[in-house]
Amino acid sequence: MPYRAPVDEYRFLFDHIVGLSHVVDTDRFAEATPDMTAAILSEAARLCEEVLYPLQRSGDLHPAKLENGVVRTSPGYADGYRAIADGGWVSISAHPDHGGMGLPMTVTTAVNEMMSSACLSLQLNPLMTQGQIEALEHHASDHLKATYLPKLVSGAWAGTMNLTEPQAGSDVGALRSKAEPMGDGTYAVTGQKIYISWGDNDFTENVCHLVLARLPDGVPGTKGISLFLVPKFIPDENGNPGKRNTLKVVSLEHKMGLHGSPTAVMQYDGAIGWLVGEAHDGMRAMFTMMNNARLGVGGQGIGVAEGAYQHALAYAMDRKQGRTPVQGGPGSIIEHADVRRMLATMKADIFAARAIALACAQAIDMQTATDKPHWAARAAFLTPIAKAFGTDTGIAVAEMGVQVHGGMGFIEETGAAQYSRDVRVTAIYEGTNGIQAMDLAARKLMDGGEAAYALLDEIEAQAEAARASLPELAEPVWQAAESLREAVDWMLGHQDLNQRFAGAAPFLRGFARVLGGHFHLKAALTEAGDGPRTRLARFYITRLLPEHAGLLAHATQGATDLYALTPEDFAA
């Protein structure tokens, strides 16, 4: 079945749920008028439906290869990438000073999600470049900005991030890569990095790597790490690709999914690089790129969920099997209660996850436009939720998509299994979802819960206002918010972070469940009667929201029972 970009859904969320109008009312984003936004969404939809989606199966069936040290990408990817770059989609949120569109991150998030639905393997390339652009905009010297940003913004060059090493997975501080100052403002970077998404390609003029490494006087741990920009080709005096740098792709990983995206093992042998930001402050600079990518990866999960849902819905509408309560005789399987349960769950969770991601993006835009601390705090608080819940939703929806297909879902030719294989890594890269949860339960509560309580106040205020028109939906949302408030209180009452970490994952998911109820209720309030959004909200609030009770009970148990189990108990 063909993919159809949910443009009307994005516009509804912009207008009624996340408040894009507040972003447009600022001087920074005044040009992002409703007419411009509508045109952007329509043109992006055309790109995704007509150019990128036809590449989805090609990348899976014909993976990227390493031949004689050269990465050969999947058939059609070069043309697909050129369409992305020529359309300006790499630089949609980049600052106009360097040739970007300067559009809100809210709009960028919607466009990136569409591209993820259409062809996740290829979309991962511009997503990495977008993150590098933001990191350089915030931390690079004027010289580096002038040399690299126009090329990255145009899509002529591509960007990557290099954190992980064989002996240092999530423990970035254990890295061994080193950088030696050369005395001329450059550094010789040596080390090996693994899991580098789009570490090389055969369709951009240059590939620019942001590499974490330690200077000779760098202390152990993350506080001694610096960040370096290391290009595949060293720019000449005119800023064009010149001499080949001393770096190479050692191998490409053989992966469960995302076959069209070359995931490289990178070797740096005294490669020339330039310091980005201050010495020994590399993690702060890299986190600019990582936080951008975390929201983007959450959108990837939602995008795959949308693609998998559309695929499953088309099959359920067409496949006839068994006696159904509606038809009586052999009818489409969408008439079976359990199939309806799965499809409704898929649709309801996609809406919840999408609303959370766009709310996070809107907070980023408001912070960019106003520089007010409370917007920065909200954006930071929502980022781990958007990443983890977005990707968990992608995995769950893709798995349900296989189930809706039944035995045909297990057959590769239907394409249902590809969604499940491709999306699985999104819960792992850019910080595992467990790390996102630990971040939420620890660092994001260092403000004494101010950002969390501000969200809860809004949820309860809306629920109070909705009691008059939708009391049966408003009351459970209000009660869920109160339960979540108690869980936040519990977290703040335990200074031993391991007590919080033991329940961090269910705490994050419980928070997402309540936010989902809030956004579904808000959607239902836009209708004058019992319309489709009210019916979907009722499904979510009566069937999915109640999960928060068990999640928060789990979240507030502490760590004692976990550590009562001995290693021998696990092996017994």
DSSP letters, 124-185, are HHHHHHHHHHHHHHHHS-HHHHHHHHHHHHHTSEEEEEE--BTTBSS-GGG---EEEE-SSS
The first and second tokens of residue 310, run together, are: 């559309």
Question: Hey, is 558 helix, strand or coil?
Answer: coil
Q: Are strands 330-332 and 233-235 parallel, antiparallel or unpaired?
A: unpaired
Question: What is the Cα–Cα distance from 41 to 46, expressed in whole angstroms?
Answer: 9
Write the pLDDT tens digit of every residue in 342-386: 999 999 999 999 999 999 999 999 999 999 999 999 999 999 999
Write the pLDDT tens digit of every residue in 184-233: 999 999 999 999 999 999 999 999 999 999 999 999 988 899 999 999 99
Write the pLDDT tens digit of every residue in 491-510: 999 999 999 999 999 999 99
Enter the pTM of the model. Answer: 0.96
Write the pLDDT tens digit of every residue in 388-439: 999 999 999 999 999 999 999 999 999 999 999 999 999 999 899 999 999 9
Catalytic residue among 134, 165, 306, 430: 430
pLDDT at 326 over 80: no
Biggest CA pair distance of the chain: 82
Write the pLDDT tens digit of every residue in 142-153: 999 999 999 999
| Contact yes or no for 53/3 (Cβ under 8 A) | yes
Which pLDDT band, with edges at 50, 70 and 90, does 330 fall under? low
| Contact yes or no for 277/284 (Cβ under 8 A) | yes
| Contact yes or no for 366/429 (Cβ under 8 A) | no
430 is catalytic: yes
Write the pLDDT tens digit of every residue in 433-482: 999 999 999 999 999 999 999 999 999 999 999 999 999 999 999 999 99
CA nearest 119: which of 47, 197, 64, 199? 47
Give the pLDDT of residue 151.
Answer: 97
Question: What is the Cα–Cα distance from 384 to 508, expressed in whole angstroms?
Answer: 8
Q: Are strands 206-214 and 225-231 parallel, antiparallel or unpaired?
A: antiparallel
| Contact yes or no for 518/548 (Cβ under 8 A) | no
Q: Which residue has the tokens 């915030």?
A: 138
Which pLDDT band, with edges at 50, 70 and 90, does 529 fall under? confident
Question: What is the Cα–Cα distance from 176 to 192, expressed in whole angstroms?
Answer: 8
